[in-house]
């Protein structure tokens, strides 16, 4: 039976891809992706030539139906996001739902994600954390959600654009001036860097730069009291 493969692609460095992912992209008949130009760069790097179809946030419902039709015609399809694991702050969930409802198998091909990359170098998370993805661009909604996340006293991770990163960090600092963050910028790429400190201090570091560029992931640590509670529990 025809199969849909959900393939994780590199978040920056093109060498961060599994052998299994490359083999899958080599063997399927069609690759569905957010941006055909972006995916073509990856395929060219590995000398892969395949039919590409676009599947992004604005056409995901229609694309899902098209992918089901391809599977019905006996074609195996790989679904990739622009970077990382599909379905995490990317299109993919509607496609998976439609394909599963149509009765076709879905196989995950795991690999990179900005979420896991940041957690691996953060140094503190606690027993649990929340992945929030992108916050609302609307100030009222964003502030309300940040208040709720900070009140939970556990780590949480957000993604942010270079246009809003300073404002978001300033807002976190205004809500909790002591809260520590780890900010990953351009992870796995040439200009990768990690900044750690209070939200206000990191916002200040970025504000001092002539320009803020790149893609950002932010881990907001639990409160100091919550971290102390976790340490006490581990000691018992």
The predicted-structure confidence for 111-147, as pLDDT tens digits, reads as follows 999 999 999 999 876 778 999 999 999 999 999 999 9
Q: Give pLDDT, residue 223.
A: 82
pLDDT of residue 229: 60
Please, where in the chain does CATH 3.30.950.10 lie? 114-231
Q: Where in the chain is the domain with CATH 3.40.1010.10?
A: 4-109
Structural class in CATH, domain 114-231 = alpha beta
pLDDT confidence tier of residue 39, bands split at 50, 70 and 90:
very high
Q: What is the mean pLDDT of residues 50-71?
A: 89
pLDDT of res. 231: 55
% of the chain exceeding 90 in pLDDT: 79
Least confident segment among 58-67, 107-116, 138-147, 175-184: 58-67
Given a contact cutoff of 8 angstroms between Cβ atoms, the answer to whether 202 and 183 are in contact is yes
For 77-135, the DSSP string reads: EEEE-SSBSTTSSSS-HHHHHHHHHTT--EEEE----HHHHHHHHHS---S-EEEEEEP
Q: What is the mean pLDDT of the chain?
A: 92
Helix (H, G, I), strand (E, B) or coil at 38: helix
pLDDT, tens only, 142-174: 999 999 999 998 999 999 999 999 999 999 999
In the prediction, which pLDDT does 41 show? 95
- Contacts of 195-201 with CB under 8 Å at 24 or more apart are 198/173, 199/169, 199/170, 199/172, 199/173, 200/169, 200/170, 200/173
CATH match for 4-109 among 3.40.50.150, 3.40.1190.20, 3.40.1010.10, 3.40.50.970: 3.40.1010.10
């Amino acid at each position: 039976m025809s199969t849909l493969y959900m393939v994780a692609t590199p978040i920056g460095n093109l060498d961060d891809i599994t052998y299994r992912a490359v083999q899958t992209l080599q063997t399927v008949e069609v690759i569905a992706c957010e941006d055909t130009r972006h995916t073509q760069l990856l395929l060219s790097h590995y000398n892969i030539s395949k039919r590409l179809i676009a599947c992004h946030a604005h056409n995901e419902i229609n694309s899902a139906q098209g992918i089901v039709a391809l599977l019905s015609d006996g074609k195996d399809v790989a679904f990739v996001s622009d970077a990382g694991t599909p379905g995490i702050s990317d299109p993919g969930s509607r496609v998976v739902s439609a394909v599963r409802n149509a009765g076709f198998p879905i196989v995950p091909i795991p690999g990179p994600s900005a979420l896991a990359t940041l957690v691996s170098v953060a140094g503190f998370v606690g027993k649990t954390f929340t992945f929030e993805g992108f916050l609302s661009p609307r100030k009222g909604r964003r502030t309300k959600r940040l208040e709720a996340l900070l009140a939970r006293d556990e780590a949480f991770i957000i993604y942010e654009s270079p246009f809003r990163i300073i404002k978001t960090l300033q807002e976190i600092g205004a809500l909790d001036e002591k809260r520590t963050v780890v900010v990953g910028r351009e992870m796995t790429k040439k200009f990768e860097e990690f900044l750690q400190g209070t939200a206000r201090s990191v916002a200040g570091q970025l504000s001092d730069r002539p320009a803020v560029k790149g893609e950002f992931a932010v881990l907001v640590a639990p409160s100091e009291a919550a971290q102390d509670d976790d340490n006490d529990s581990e000691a018992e």
